[in-house]
Amino acid sequence: MRVLVTGASGFIGTALCRALLKRGDQVVSWVHQSEPEVAGLERIDQLDHLEGAIDAVVNLAGAPIADARWSDARKALLLSSRIETTQALVAWMAQQSTPPKTLVSGSAIGFYGACTSDERVTEQSAPLCRDFSARLCQQWEAEALKAEAAGVRVCLVRTGIVLGKGGALAKMRLPFLMGGGGPIASGKQWMPWIHLQDEVDAILHLLDRDDLSGAFNLTAPDPARNSAFVRAYAESLKRPAFMPMPSFAVGLMLGSEASALLTEGLRVVPQRLEESGFQFTYPILENALLAVAKSY
């Protein structure tokens, strides 16, 4: 299979490309000139430079969602880096005499909104609140679904917090190693998570299964509350976790809107992924966090 990947140099993209290459697929990376070279990939900086047929596309492009306060300029970047890239991909597919058979396009559990509820949230659930993260994901998915008009099978991956050597845990690691970790706000908010290995395996699963389409929650079957998550993370590092971070402190760092990503959380579960027969390597949080700790 020849696969075009956007966001190939990112946390998830790098792991996915390695897995594709390992199993014998050809990988074409559409990246910006400023992004680092990824070993073993065919690289293009413009879709017009792409030669030869593409069997599938994995769209993971997008500026990091929680790396800065959500100013108007930051919101515009978060939108444009996702929407414009997806629009360009869909337009390119529509122009091909033989379009790719499959598009696996990124999204996030932010689709359901940044709020807190104990309700079990599946792919059939409607958004529980209408904040910026929900609007962002909904627009992103709507652009990806336009590829269906060209006969492309579209899978939308609504990803939770990805656990691996990098990503969200890399930002948490130093404070926890120094004994400064603890629950955020009430600690009662849900934290739907997935190990990086399962994230990659799930994307491969969707690429390979021609009978699957639509939205899929890429989260482990057993989401944890924030208090349980930080306790398990501290234990994996053999450190205490007794320094809570109040809501106002998160708000000072990220602003009121972006801070909701950490202070709020929904009980998102991977119903459709499990129904498709996908088997998680790390369904248990403690095992996933121990595996990450051992990777350092």
3-state secondary structure the chain: CEEEEECCCCHHHHHHHHHHHHCCCEEEEECCCCCCCCCCCEEECCHHHCCCCCCEEEECCCCCCCCCCCCHHHHHHHHHHHHHHHHHHHHHHHHCCCCCCEEEEEEEHHHHCCCCEEEEECCCCCCCCCCHHHHHHHHHHHHHHHHHHHCCEEEEEEECEEEECEHHHHHHHHHHHCCCCCCECCCCCEECEEEHHHHHHHHHHHHHCCCCCEEEEECCCCCEEHHHHHHHHHHHCCCCCCCCECHHHHHHHHCHHHHHHHHCCEEECCHHHHHCCCCCCCCCHHHHHHHHHHCC
Residue in the structure block whose two tokens are 């959380």: 265
Number of compact structural domains in the chain: 1
Residue in the structure block whose two tokens are 């799930």: 202
pLDDT tens-digit map of 59-75: 999 998 877 888 899 99
Question: Residue 87 and residue 238: Cα distance in Å, rounded?
Answer: 46
Which of these, 211, 161, 197, 169, lies nearest to 280 by C-alpha position? 197
Q: Where does the pLDDT of residue 38 fall: very low under 50, low under 70, confident under 90, or very high at 90 and above?
A: low
CA 156 to chain centre: 11
pTM, entire model: 0.95
Which of these, 133, 158, 125, 123, lies nearest to 144 by C-alpha position? 158
Q: What is the domain range of residue 114?
A: 2-294
pLDDT tens-digit map of 109-126: 999 999 999 999 999 999
What tokens does 80 get? Answer: 């444009």
Q: What pLDDT score was predicted for residue 252?
A: 54
Residue 83's CATH number: 3.40.50.720
Q: What pLDDT score was predicted for residue 284?
A: 98
Predicted confidence (pLDDT) at residue 275 exceeds the cutoff of 90: yes
Q: Where does the pLDDT of residue 37 fall: very low under 50, low under 70, confident under 90, or very high at 90 and above?
A: low
Q: What pLDDT score was predicted for residue 24?
A: 97
Q: Where does the pLDDT of residue 192 fall: very low under 50, low under 70, confident under 90, or very high at 90 and above?
A: very high
Which one has a higher pLDDT value, 37 or 172? 172
What tokens does 251 get? Answer: 């708000």
Burial of 106 (0-12, 13-18, 19+ CB in 10 A): buried
Work out the mean pLDDT of the chain and round it to a whole number.
92
